[in-house]
A and B are shown apart, each in its own frame.
Chain A
Amino acid sequence: MSTNGMESWAVDLKDVGAVYPFSGSEGLLYIAGLAFWIIWHVVQLRQEAAEVHHEMDMDASGDKARAAIDRY
Chain B
Amino acid sequence: MGNNLDALTTVFTEFYYWVTVVFMFLIHVGFCLYEVAASRRRNHLHTLMKNTMVIPLVTVTFFFFGWWIYFAFPNGPWIFEGKGIDFAAAEGARPWDDNMGTNLSDRINGVFWAAFLLFSWTAASIVSGAVIERIRSGAFWLLAVLIGSGTWIIDAAWGWHWDGWMVKLLGYHDAYASGVIHAIAGGFALGVLVVLGPRLGKFRPDGTARDIPPHNTWLVTLGLFLIYTGFWGFYAACNVPIISPEGIGGQITGETWTATNIYLAPTTLSAITFNFLMSLSGGLMVAFMVSKGDPFWTYSGGLAGVICASAGNDLYHPIQSMLIGGVGAWFAYKAHFWVERKFKIDDAVGAVAVHGYAGFLGLIICGFMLWGQPSSPYEGYATINPLGMFIGAIIMFGVLGFVPAFIASKILDGFGMLRIPRKVELEGLDFEEEEAYRDALDEVREAEKAMVA
Contacts and interface: CB of A to CB of B under 8 A. Distances in A.
A61 interface: no
A10 B316 contact: no
A4 B67 CA distance: 35
A29 B317 contact: yes
Interface residues of A, number: 32
B323 interface: yes
Mostly, the B contact residues are: loop
B320 A21 contact: yes
Interface residues of B, number: 35
A47 B292 CA distance: 7
Contacts of A23: 317
Interface string B239-256: 000000100000111111
Interface string B259-303: 000000110000000000000001001001100110000000000
A12 B373 contact: no
Contacts of B383: 2
Given A29-B320, A43-B289, A44-B289, A8 B315 contact: no
Contact of B372 (A1, A14, A36, A51): A1
Interface in A21-47: 21-23, 26, 29-30, 32-33, 36-37, 40, 43-44, 47
A6 interface: yes
Interface of A: 1-4, 6-16, 19-23, 26, 29-30, 32-33, 36-37, 40, 43-44, 47, 51
A7 to B, nearest CB: 7
Contact of A9 (B316, B317, B319, B376): B376
Contacts of A32: 319, 323
B370 interface: yes
Contact of B319 (A29, A44, A47): A29
B315 A19 contact: yes
A9 B254 contact: no
